[in-house]
Amino acid sequence: MPPNLLFVFCDELRRDATGYSGNPDVHTPAIDKLAAEGVQFRQAVANTPVCTPSRGCLLTGCWPQRHGAISNDLPIDPASPSIARALNGAGYRCGYIGKWHLGGIPRSRFVPPGPERLGFDAFWASWNCHHQYLRPRYFLDTPDPIQPEGYEPAIQTDLALTFLQDHHEHHQEQPFCLFLSWGPPHGPYRPLPPGYEDRYDPATLHLRPNAVDTPQERTDLAGYYAHMTAMDDQFARLMTALDQHGLRDDTLVVFASDHGSMLGSHGYHNKQFPYEESCGVPLVMRWPPRLSPGSVSDLLIGIVDYAPTLLGLLDVPVPPAMQGRDLTASITGGAPGPDSQYLQELVCCDQARQVHMLPWRAVRTRHATYVRNTAGPWLLFDNTRDPYQEHNLIGEESARGLQVRLEATLQGYTQALDDPLESAEAVLTRYDKTEAWAEREVFLHTGRNMAGDAPSVPLAAPKGG
State the CATH number of the domain containing residue 395.
Answer: 3.30.1120.10
What is the overall mean pLDDT for the chain? 94
**Strands (DSSP E) found in 76-229:** 93-99, 123-127, 176-185
Torsion, CA 185, CA 191, CA 195, CA 199, rounded to 10? 60
pLDDT at residue 352 in the model = 81
Render 341-385 in DSSP notation, one character per residue.
EEEEESS--THHHHTTPPPEEEEEESSEEEEEETTEEEEEEETTT
Instruction: Please give the tally of structural domains in the chain.
Output: 2
Tens of pLDDT along 390-404? 999 999 999 999 999
Q: Does a structural domain hold residue 459?
A: no
Catalytic residue, from 67, 101, 131, 167: name it: 101
pLDDT at residue 373 in the model = 97
Residue 182 has pLDDT above 80, yes or no: yes
Degrees to nearest 5, angle at CA 89 with 83 and 95:
55
Quick check: 272 and 71 in contact, CB under 8 A?
no
- Cα 309 from Cα 323, distance rounded (Å): 11
Residue 410 has pLDDT above 50, yes or no: yes
Domain co-membership, 20 together with 155: yes
Domain co-membership, 437 together with 362: yes
Domain co-membership, 282 together with 409: no
Domain co-membership, 418 together with 433: yes
Which region among 186-190, 252-256, 288-292, 458-462 has the lowest average model confidence (pLDDT)? 458-462
Catalytic residue, from 10, 51, 94, 349: name it: 51
Residue 464 has pLDDT above 70, yes or no: no
**Strands (DSSP E) found in 260-308:** 283-286, 295-297, 301-302
Share of the chain above pLDDT 90, in %: 92
Share of the chain above pLDDT 70, in %: 96
pLDDT at residue 447 in the model = 66
pLDDT at residue 455 in the model = 42
In this prediction, residues 77-96 reach a mean pLDDT of 98
Residue 355 has pLDDT above 90, yes or no: no
Q: How many helices (H) and strands (E) does the chain have?
A: 13, 14
Band (448; pLDDT cuts 50, 70, 90):
low
Residue 434 has pLDDT above 70, yes or no: yes
Among this protein's residues, is 269 annotated catalytic? no
Domain co-membership, 165 together with 19: yes
Q: Does a structural domain hold residue 199?
A: yes
In this prediction, residues 362-371 reach a mean pLDDT of 98
Degrees to nearest 5, angle at CA 235 with 260 and 248:
120
Domain end among 306, 321, 337: 337
Q: Does a structural domain hold residue 451?
A: no
Residue 457 has pLDDT above 90, yes or no: no
Enter the pTM of the model. Answer: 0.95
Residue 460 has pLDDT above 60, yes or no: no
Q: Does a structural domain hold residue 452?
A: no
Domain end among 303, 322, 337: 337
Band (288; pLDDT cuts 50, 70, 90):
very high
- Per the structure, the complete domain to which residue 421 belongs is given by 342-446
Closest of 283, 277, 419, 445 to residue 359, by C-alpha? 419
Residue 256 has pLDDT above 70, yes or no: yes
Q: Does a structural domain hold residue 461?
A: no
Torsion, CA 127, CA 133, CA 134, CA 140, rounded to 10? 20
Q: Does a structural domain hold residue 84?
A: yes
Domain co-membership, 320 together with 348: no
Domain co-membership, 48 together with 137: yes
Domain co-membership, 320 together with 351: no
pLDDT at residue 353 in the model = 81
Tens of pLDDT along 42-59? 999 999 999 999 999 999
pLDDT at residue 454 in the model = 41
Among this protein's residues, is 94 annotated catalytic? no
CATH code, 49 = 3.40.720.10
Domain co-membership, 296 together with 351: no
Quick check: 86 and 106 in contact, CB under 8 A?
no
Domain end among 337, 367, 401: 337
Domain co-membership, 256 together with 243: yes
Domain co-membership, 322 together with 348: no
Higher pLDDT, 318 or 442: 318
The contacts of residue 296 (CB under 8 Å, 6+ apart) are: 39, 40, 42
Quick check: 33 and 295 in contact, CB under 8 A?
no
pLDDT at residue 445 in the model = 78
Residue 391's CB is within 10 A of a number of other CB atoms, namely: 12
In this prediction, residues 14-34 reach a mean pLDDT of 98
Q: Does a structural domain hold residue 462?
A: no
Residue 459 has pLDDT above 50, yes or no: no
Domain co-membership, 331 together with 391: no
Higher pLDDT, 464 or 322: 322
Residue 461 has pLDDT above 60, yes or no: no
Q: Does a structural domain hold residue 297?
A: yes
